[in-house]
Amino acid sequence: MSDIPELRRKNLIFLGAPGAGKGTIAKEMVAKYHIAHISTGDILRGEVAAQTPAGKQAEALMKSGQLVPDELVAGMVRRRIAEPDCRRGFILDGFPRTIRQAELLEDALRELELNIDAVVFFEVDDETLLRRLTARMNCRKCDAIYNKISRPPKQEGVCDICGGELFQRPDDSLETAKSRLKVFYGQTAPLVDYYRKNGLLFAVAADTIPAMMKRIAEELE
């Protein structure tokens, strides 16, 4: 018998401002429940690195902390959730980010005969968000996430997991981080009410990683 815990509610949206902890908790959930992690930010960074047409379209917008066009991201997500590894469940991390994206997601889900089972809203105050974003470090090779203050790697600049080089995302500079928060409040925050109204949303307050995992498990298992 498999000792991987099963989720009762398994197709999830992680909603929250940049720096709220969505990516970090998503990675913990993937390790624990073996569900798929779909981070539109990671997908887009891959497209930019490969200089695909989508990457070229997204590059300048990402650098300045603006959103890339709804149709472009929604198309990427639609293709990704149709892949077989998503049948065990998936986390949409950083998508949808606008009401239009939520509508496009609904169309895709209907077509694929899938449902969203829960929306996890990461509730974090602005001061904490900015502190976290500007101290964040990412691994170039495996995308692991560190924090210079609260979650430093064992050796400075080196990933504990794969030995890859750690770097600061260009959009995590203080100035761009502030713009990204503005974009969040203007374009993404309305989704909190949108999902609260259809009864899918529960909020998780900023806490230690184990405490947040416990709270989420209580809601979903």
Contacts of 8 (CB under 8 A, 6+ apart): 117, 220, 221
Residues 96-155 interacting with ligand AMP (rule: CB under 6 A): 97, 101
Residue 177 interacts with ligand AMP (CB under 6 A): yes or no: no
Residue 16 interacts with ligand AMP (CB under 6 A): yes or no: no
Nearer to ligand AMP, 101 or 118 (CB): 101
Residue 65 interacts with ligand AMP (CB under 6 A): yes or no: yes
Residues labelled as active-site residues: 22, 97, 136, 169, 180
What are the distances in angstroms from CA 201 to CA 90, 119, 170, 194, 198?
16, 5, 31, 9, 8
Q: Which of 33, 95, 146, 184 binds ligand AMP (CB under 6 A)?
A: 95
Tell me which long-range contacts 30-33 makes (C-beta under 8 A, separation of at least 24): 30/91, 32/4, 32/5, 32/213, 33/4, 33/5, 33/6, 33/7, 33/88, 33/89
Nearer to ligand AMP, 64 or 217 (CB): 64
Residue 21 interacts with ligand AMP (CB under 6 A): yes or no: no
Tokens of 153: 């790697």
What letter does residue 145 receive in the DSSP assignment? Answer: E
Tokens of 15: 């909603």
Q: Which stretch, 47-55, 62-70, 79-87, 195-203, contacts ligand AMP (CB under 6 A)?
A: 62-70
CA dist., res. 209 & res. 212, Å (int): 5
Q: How far is the CB of 102 from ligand AMP (least distance, A)?
A: 10
Residues in touch with ligand AMP (CB under 6 A): 18, 40-41, 44, 61-62, 65-68, 73, 94-95, 97, 101, 171, 180
